[in-house]
């Protein structure tokens, strides 16, 4: 099972049902450039978002629970896939997670995103994210717009098996993303459009257990490697509030690619 296929299985389990669509992306002769591209596009895909702007869920308390999901464009993964198969299609990855949000006094909001550990003997997958948001316009700034700053961390873990040149190989992949984003939004009662600008730093670590060679010898002679990448992030979206329901749509541009995310949640 390849890295891309395993990630697709884990994501689709929540976001799109039980189907699997992917082309194999063999993990052989990985060099620094290839690994960096993989980390960037996977980080763009699994970066935390609550598909919400600067506003809180209430001046005192508020609670929201729901699900977010979407797709991220992965042109670099497509190129890597087509190096071994000209008909391969890996131009986008799905993402999704369960979402919980809690607002407390003083304009403070906490967020949690989760895909619990899922899988089988062939793969195990989980992702977890936390975020804290402070909205000063809720308590001491009198402005026509809401402003907020959000810090967040996401960690994704994957263990999967792949046979390389008849040799059974076990891979472990860990992706950590940290970010800080400034948001501005305007609450029109039913509609709250927003914009965000932030900075992200991601680290990916891949290790292999087996007697086969996974990494290019000019990159490393070991069985593991790690790379760190950073990026600015731009978000544009809106929430639609209907009684106790929320619908949200968001476009994000980060790590050189585009991500599209939707949300369905309950709030009170």
Q: Are 125 and 116 in contact (CB under 8 A)?
A: no
What is the Cα 5 distance to its own chain's centre? 16
- pTM of the entire predicted model: 0.87
- pLDDT, residue 182, reads 98
- pLDDT, residue 142, reads 84
CB atoms within 10 A of CB 218: 9
Q: 3-state DSSP helix/strand/coil percent for the chain, to nearest 5? A: 15, 55, 30
Unique residue bearing structure tokens 């990855």: 93
Tens-digit pLDDT profile for residues 90-121: 788 889 999 999 999 999 999 999 998 877 77
Low-confidence ranges of the chain (pLDDT < 50): 1, 6, 8-23
Tens-digit pLDDT profile for residues 52-94: 999 999 989 999 999 999 999 999 888 877 766 666 677 888 8
- pLDDT, residue 229, reads 96
30, 113, 118 from 238: Cα distances, Å: 39, 19, 31
- pLDDT, residue 15, reads 41
Q: Which residues contact 6 (CB under 8 A, 6 or more apart)?
A: 122, 123, 125, 158, 160
- pLDDT, residue 123, reads 77
φ, ψ of residue 97 to 5 degrees: the values are -165, 160
Q: For residue 247, give both structure tokens.
A: 């619908």
């Amino acid at each position: 099972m390849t890295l891309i296929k395993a990630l697709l299985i884990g994501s689709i389990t929540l976001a799109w049902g039980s189907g699997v669509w992917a082309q194999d992306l063999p993990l052989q002769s990985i060099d620094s450039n290839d690994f960096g591209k993989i980390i960037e596009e996977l980080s763009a895909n699994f970066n935390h978002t609550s598909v919400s702007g600067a506003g809180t869920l209430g001046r005192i308390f508020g609670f929201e629970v729901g699900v977010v999901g979407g797709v991220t464009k992965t042109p670099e993964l497509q190129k890597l896939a087509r190096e071994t198969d000209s008909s391969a299609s890996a131009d986008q990855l799905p993402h999704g997670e369960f979402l919980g949000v809690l607002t407390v006094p003083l304009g403070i909001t906490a967020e949690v995103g989760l895909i619990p550990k899922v899988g089988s003997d062939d793969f195990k997958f989980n992702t977890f994210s936390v975020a804290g948001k402070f909205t000063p316009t809720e308590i001491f700034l009198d402005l026509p717009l809401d402003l907020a700053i959000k810090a967040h961390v996401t960690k994704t873990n994957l263990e999967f098996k792949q046979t390389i040149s008849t040799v059974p190989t076990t891979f472990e992949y860990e992706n950590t993303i940290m970010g800080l984003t400034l948001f501005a939004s305007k609450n029109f009662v039913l509609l709250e459009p927003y914009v965000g600008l932030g900075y992200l730093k991601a680290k990916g670590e891949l290790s292999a257990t087996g007697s086969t060679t996974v990494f290019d010898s000019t990159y490393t002679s070991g069985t593991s490697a790690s790379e760190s990448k950073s990026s600015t992030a731009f978000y544009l979206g809106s929430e639609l509030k209907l009684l106790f329901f929320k619908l949200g749509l968001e476009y994000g541009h980060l790590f050189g690619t585009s991500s599209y995310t939707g949300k369905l949640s309950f709030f009170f």
